[in-house]
């Protein structure tokens, strides 16, 4: 996993570590993540907090044996999708939060692992109750469960 402080612009975020005024919100394009983003935007407004919008990507394993990956570099497409998603969300948040810092972060890695790592110096972690996974019948998704169990700061799960 790359350095969680690396933003899309390649600049370091301008926040001291451990500052309770930093809200991290994970997005994945799902309806639940959209609601979590809206909740986090409002909370950032109320707290005058830095808002860090995070999306992740990773290449799933191709399997065993002599398996040839798809032509081109699928990792580049996954990374571009994640960057596009957080940039769009950050643009929306900046309009709603004039004068408040909004950081767009796209990182390679497991969503839960990345969010738990970023929670180490956050005041609040916000995630949707379920994401884009295939188990719609679950009350809470695997990422939100993992974050609930391992986050280093308070967590809000938006239904």
Q: Could you read off the pLDDT of 55-94 as tens digits, one per residue?
A: 999 876 655 555 555 566 677 888 999 999 999 999 999 9
Instruction: Determine the pLDDT at residue 15.
Output: 42
Helix (H, G, I), strand (E, B) or coil at 142: helix
Provide CB contacts within 8 A for 33, sequence distance 6+.
26, 27, 127, 128, 131
- Coil, strand or helix: which one is 149? helix
Specify the DSSP class assigned to residue 119: G
pLDDT of 137: 44
Q: Note the pLDDT of residue 157.
A: 95
Burial 132-152 (b: 16+ CB within 10 A, else e): eeeeeeeeebebbbbbeeebe
Q: Which residues of 5-14 are buried (b: 16+ CB within 10 A; e: fewer)?
A: bebbeeeebe
Q: How far apart are alpha carbons 136 and 129 in whole angstroms?
A: 11
- Given a cut of 50, the residues of the chain with pLDDT beneath it are 1-18, 134-139
Tokens of 36: 């979590």
Residue 125 DSSP label: E
DSSP 8-class letter at 6: B
DSSP letter assigned to residue 126: E
- 63 has which bridge partners? none
Cα–Cα distance between 60 and 105 in angstroms, integer? 20
Q: Where do the H-state alpha helices sit in the chain?
A: 31-47, 74-96, 111-118, 142-150
Domains parsed from the chain with CATH numbers:
22-158 (3.40.50.620)
């Amino acid at each position: 996993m790359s350095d969680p402080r690396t933003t899309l612009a390649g600049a370091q975020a301008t926040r001291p570590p451990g500052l309770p005024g930093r809200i991290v919100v994970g997005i994945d394009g799902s309806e639940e993540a959209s609601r979590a983003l809206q909740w986090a935007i409002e909370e950032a407004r109320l707290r005058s907090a830095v808002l860090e919008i995070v999306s992740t990507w990773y290449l799933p394993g191709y399997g065993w044996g002599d398996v040839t990956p798809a032509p081109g570099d699928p990792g580049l497409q996954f990374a571009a999708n994640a960057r596009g998603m957080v940039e769009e969300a950050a643009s929306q948040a900046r309009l709603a939060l004039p004068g408040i810092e909004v950081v767009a972060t796209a990182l390679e890695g497991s969503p839960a692992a990345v969010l738990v790592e970023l929670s180490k110096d956050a005041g609040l972690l916000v995630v949707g109750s379920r994401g884009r996974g295939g188990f719609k019948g679950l009350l809470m998704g695997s990422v939100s469960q993992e974050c609930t169990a391992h986050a280093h700061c308070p967590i809000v799960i938006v239904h």
